[in-house]
Amino acid sequence: MNFEYLEREYGYKRYKCRVCGEHFWSRVPRETCPDRPCSRYEFLFKKYSRLQPLRLVEVRRRFIDYLVKRGHGLVDPYPVVAKWRNDLYLTIASIVVFQPHVTEGLVDPPHNPLVIVQPSIRLADIDNVGLTFGRHLSSFEMGGMHAFNKPGKFVYWSEGIFENTLGFLTESIGVDLDDIVFKEGWWEGGGNAGPAPEVLVDGIEVATLVHMSYKVVNGRYEPNPLLVVDVGFGIERLAWLTQQAPTGFHAVYGELLDKYRDILGVEEPPVDILKQAVYSLSNTEYSSLEEFTQLLEKHGFREYVRDFVNAIHLYSALDHVRTFSLMLADGVVPSNTGEGYLARLVVRRLLRSILKLGVEYSRLRDVLAELIEEQVKYWRGDYIYGKLERYLNYIVNVAEIEVEKFVSNLVRGVEVVERLVNKKRGLSLEDIIEIYDSHGIPPDIVAERLSQH
């Protein structure tokens, strides 16, 4: 790591956040780092001199163009199913495409340096999708900037990483240098590790600059044969930043969000209320819908609680339809094992969100088919998602089968719940876990049945 380069060439200084105690680098004095929970989403209301609203496809194109002009070869995106890995089901980041053979120097990369915009899927935080208004997504685009330095062939390291990062953000996106902060950090994943400053702009993290210099062997760090540049930009987050939209879903999905709202028959809170609430809660940690609604009431949004809850399910539906469609287009077949289990997990969460919006069981199949068709239409001709149109019939057919299995399981599961309740006059935590494991009935649906008794 060479933070001194930032100080020497760009005037950055090192500061310590008085809230979290972590160190960060900024051109202007700051008492706190612009990261949550130390700061709010200041970007939502800040007046910028050069920032112009950019759609997702425009951010993506500018990212690719900037790096191609600076000698990076373009690599087309890989599938979201990591078939080339025996330790991962899904492609969770752009660097996964090149682990372990390229990152360990066993195979040459297609270009060096290279740029790739990789659709990625992460399900570890799927419960937070919608709830955090765009900070968490189950599928997202990672703008990967990669270089592979090995003995006898040095490409670039810290200085080049900082130079390309600042150049792209200031020249292509329009962010002022004084608004860009680097927070010191560390990253591990896929068997590698290294220092990883986070790039923050007024409350939102837009990139992570991994200096991949170690591999993890039996829990110990060993020098990696190569020094690997693993920079990942959040393309959706940059679109959100530039548009200053109330949520990341508005920035990414635009008019498709309106279509989904009409299909599902729900209302969002008024835009000004929505944006103010997202801002007010952006420095607060919460992990459940119950905690979120309590915070809404605490911050004076009591009369809009129902609309906010509906909006969260609406945003989840947008996200989950895209994720499920991507998985099927790349060859996943829903099942109870492997990546098939993960696809089934996504579609069943999606169906639960639709049900919570008041859609009747008898309409589930038709509504889901319409949501898929509108999503595919929205991405028609897109560099990454255009392939969904080729698999539309397959995706819809599989979705219909999954709806039938979901409803059938629910019916059987509800019967089990009824029998247990009548027998025990209540259910223990162990009972609820057993019902979920054996019948796939989520705890919230069990709780709903219990409340009726």
pLDDT of residue 204: 98
Provide mean pLDDT across the span 349-363: 95
Separation CA 68–CA 143 (nearest Å): 13
pLDDT of residue 446: 73
Whether 434 has a pLDDT exceeding 80, the answer reads no
Whose structure tokens read 């837009």?
A: 206
Whether 421 has a pLDDT exceeding 80, the answer reads no
Q: Pick the closest to residue 291 from 312, 264, 272, 319 (CA basis).
A: 312
Q: Pick the closest to residue 352 from 424, 436, 444, 448 (CA basis).
A: 444
Q: What tokens were used for 425?
A: 């006059």
Could you give the residue ranges of the DSSP H alpha helices within 392-428? 392-424
Q: What angle do CA 303, 246, 55 make, to 5 degrees?
A: 155
pLDDT of residue 419: 78
Cis omega (within 30 of 0) for bond into 100: yes
Whether 191 has a pLDDT exceeding 90, the answer reads no
Task: Give the range among 354-368, 376-390, 409-423 with minimum mean pLDDT.
Answer: 409-423
Q: How many CB atoms lie within 10 A of CB 402?
A: 22
Q: Is 203 left (phi over 0), alpha (psi -120 to 50) or beta?
A: left
Q: Kindly report the average pLDDT of the chain as a whole number.
A: 94
Whether 182 has a pLDDT exceeding 80, the answer reads yes
CA-CA-CA-CA torsion for 371, 377, 381, 384, nearest 10 degrees?
Answer: -10
Q: How confident is the model at residue 2 (pLDDT cuts 50, 70, 90)?
A: confident
Q: Which residues contact 21 (CB under 8 A, 6 or more apart)?
A: none
Assess contact for 298 and 290: CB atoms under 8 A. Answer: no
Provide mean pLDDT across the span 407-420: 79
pLDDT of residue 447: 72
Which amino acid makes up residue 154? F
Cis omega (within 30 of 0) for bond into 113: yes
Whether 424 has a pLDDT exceeding 80, the answer reads no
Helix (H, G, I), strand (E, B) or coil at 198: strand
> Considering the chain, what percentage of its residues have pLDDT values greater than 90?
85
Q: What is the pLDDT of residues 39-72, one digit of tens each?
A: 999 999 999 999 999 999 999 999 999 999 999 9
Whose structure tokens read 């896929």?
A: 190
Q: What are phi and psi of 13, to 5 degrees?
A: -125, 155
pTM: 0.93
Q: How many helices (H) and strands (E) does the chain have?
A: 14, 11
Helix (H, G, I), strand (E, B) or coil at 118: strand
Q: How confident is the model at residue 411 (pLDDT cuts 50, 70, 90)?
A: confident
Which amino acid makes up residue 168? F
pLDDT of residue 439: 66
Q: What tokens were used for 249?
A: 């879903």
Q: Which residues contact 73 (CB under 8 A, 6 or more apart)?
A: 110, 111, 112, 113, 114, 115
Separation CA 263–CA 259 (nearest Å): 6
Task: Give the range among 87-91, 407-411, 441-445 with minimum mean pLDDT.
Answer: 441-445
Helix (H, G, I), strand (E, B) or coil at 234: strand
- Burial class from Cβ neighbours inside 10 Å (0-12, 13-18, 19+) for residue 437 reads exposed
Whether 354 has a pLDDT exceeding 90, the answer reads yes
pLDDT of residue 423: 75
Q: Give me the domains of the chain, ranges plus CATH numbers.
A: 3-241 (3.30.930.10), 254-451 (no CATH)
Q: What tokens were used for 256?
A: 């498709």
pLDDT of residue 440: 66
Q: How many CB atoms lie within 10 A of CB 347?
A: 26
The 8 Å CB, 24+ separation contacts for 86-89 are 87/190, 87/191, 88/190, 89/338, 89/339, 89/342
Q: Is 425 left (phi over 0), alpha (psi -120 to 50) or beta?
A: left
Q: How confident is the model at residue 417 (pLDDT cuts 50, 70, 90)?
A: confident
Q: What is the pLDDT of residues 276-318, one digit of tens each?
A: 999 999 999 998 999 999 999 999 999 999 999 999 999 999 9
Q: What is the pLDDT of residues 232-275, one digit of tens each?
A: 999 999 999 999 999 999 999 999 999 999 999 999 999 999 99
pLDDT of residue 253: 98
Q: What is the pLDDT of residues 103-142, one digit of tens each?
A: 989 999 999 999 999 999 999 999 999 999 999 999 999 9
Angle between helices 443-451 and 429-439 (to 10 degrees): 120
Q: How confident is the model at residue 410 (pLDDT cuts 50, 70, 90)?
A: confident
pLDDT of residue 452: 64
Separation CA 276–CA 146 (nearest Å): 37
Q: What tokens were used for 100?
A: 């372990």
pLDDT of residue 189: 80
Whether 428 has a pLDDT exceeding 90, the answer reads no
Separation CA 409–CA 327 (nearest Å): 23
Q: What are phi and psi of 308, to 5 degrees?
A: -65, -45
